[in-house]
C-alpha cells in the first residue's frame, strides 16, 4: 500500500495533506525518516509514525451515520443524493458501502463499512441482530396491534417474524418496534397490515449500539472497534425518551 493512502485511510489528513506532511519529514517508516508519499509500505508489518506517534493500522473502517430524510441508501445514483455522498472525503475508502438499507424517508442509524464479512454477519437472519425503530403513525396504536406484532404478520408473500411493539403511553401515535429481519419496507408493511400508515420512521439502535442524540442529522463519525462489536451484543432494555 502507498504511504499516503495508508495515512489518509487512518484519518491523518486528505491525500494532499498527508503528502505535504511526508515531504516535511514528519513521517518515519520503521524509524527511518521518509520523504516520498508514494513509498510502498506493508501496513501489517511496518511501523509508521507521525511526529513520533505510531499510527495504528485498521484494516477496515466502520462509520456511523445519522441518516437524514431524502437521501438514498445506495453507493451512487445519477439523480438523488446517496448516503455515500454524505461521507467526508477523509473518511472515504474504495469499497465503502452501507450495511443494510433504510428507505429514502427513514432517518437514523446507518452503518457504512468496507468489511463485507461484518455486513454479511450483521444482516444474516441467523445472527438475530435486533434493530429498534421509533415510528409515528397516522392513527393511534392499539393493544391489539401489540398482539399481532408479537404473533408475526403475514403481508402478501412475506411472513414477518414476531416483533416487539411498544406504545408511547403519552402519545399513542408514537410507538417503538424491534425487528430481527430487514425485509423491504418491513416496519411500514407491518403497520399497514394493522390498518395504520407510518408517517415518520427513525432507527434508534442496532444490537447494543445506540445512536447518540448528539450526532446531527447527516453527520458521520468513525466507530471504535468496540462499538462495531456492540452490534452483535444483546441490547439492554431501552429508555423510551
Ligand atoms: N422498515 C421500513 O419500513 N423502512 C425502513 O427504512 C426500515 C425498516
Report residue 130 as a C-alpha cell: 435486533
In a domain, 236, yes or no: no
Catalytic residue among 42, 95, 103, 105: 103
20 and 116 inside one domain: no
Cα 198 to ligand 1 centre (Å): 10
Cα 73 to ligand 1 centre (Å): 11
Cα 187 to ligand 1 centre (Å): 5
Position 171 scores a pLDDT of 98
List, chain by chain if needed, residues with CB within 6 Å of any ligand 1 atom. Answer: 102-103, 106, 185-188, 201
Spatial strand order of the sheet with 53-54 comes to 32-33, 27-29, 48-50, 53-54
Q: Which tens digits make up the pLDDT trace of 168-179?
A: 999 999 999 999
Q: What DSSP string describes 107-174?
A: EEEEEEES-HHHHHHHH-GGG---EEEEEEESS---HHHHHHHHH-EEETTEEEPP-EEEE-TT-TTE
Rg of the chain, C-alpha, whole Å: 22
Regions of the chain where pLDDT drops below 50: none
Position 238 scores a pLDDT of 60
Q: Which domain holds residue 37?
A: 3-54
Instruction: Check if 103 is active-site.
Output: yes
27 and 119 inside one domain: no
192 and 78 inside one domain: yes
State the CB neighbour count (10 A cutoff) for residue 49. 15
Position 104 scores a pLDDT of 98
Instruction: Determine phi and psi for 175, rounding to 5 degrees.
Output: -150, 160
pTM: 0.87
Amino acid at each position: 500500500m502507498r504511504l499516503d493512502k495508508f495515512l489518509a485511510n487512518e484519518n491523518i489528513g486528505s491525500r494532499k495533506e498527508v503528502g505535504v506532511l511526508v515531504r516535511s519529514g514528519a513521517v518515519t517508516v520503521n524509524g527511518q525518516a521518509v520523504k516520498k508519499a508514494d513509498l510502498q509500505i506493508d501496513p501489517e508489518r511496518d511501523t509508521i509514525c507521525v511526529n513520533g506517534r505510531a499510527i495504528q493500522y485498521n484494516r477496515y473502517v466502520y462509520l456511523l451515520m445519522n441518516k437524514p430524510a431524502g437521501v438514498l441508501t445506495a453507493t451512487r445514483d445519477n439523480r438523488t443524493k446517496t448516503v455515500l455522498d454524505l461521507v467526508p472525503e477523509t473518511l472515504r475508502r474504495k469499497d465503502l458501502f452501507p450495511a443494510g438499507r433504510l428507505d429514502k424517508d427513514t432517518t437514523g442509524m446507518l452503518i457504512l463499512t468496507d468489511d463485507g464479512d461484518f455486513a454479511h454477519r450483521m444482516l444474516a437472519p441467523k445472527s438475530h441482530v435486533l434493530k429498534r425503530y421509533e415510528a409515528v403513525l397516522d392513527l393511534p396504536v392499539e393493544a391489539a396491534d401489540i398482539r399481532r406484532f408479537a404473533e408475526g404478520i403475514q403481508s402478501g408473500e412475506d411472513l414477518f417474524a414476531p416483533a416487539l411493539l411498544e406504545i408511547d403511553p403519552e402519545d399513542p401515535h408514537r410507538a417503538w418496534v424491534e425487528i430481527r429481519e430487514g425485509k423491504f419496507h418491513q416496519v411500514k408493511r407491518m403497520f399497514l397490515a394493522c390498518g395504520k400508515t407510518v408517517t415518520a420512521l427513525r432507527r434508534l439502535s442496532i444490537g447494543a449500539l445506540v445512536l447518540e442524540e448528539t450526532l446531527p442529522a447527516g453527520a458521520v463519525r468513525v466507530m471504535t472497534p468496540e462499538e462495531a462489536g456492540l452490534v452483535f451484543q444483546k441490547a439492554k432494555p431501552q429508555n423510551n425518551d
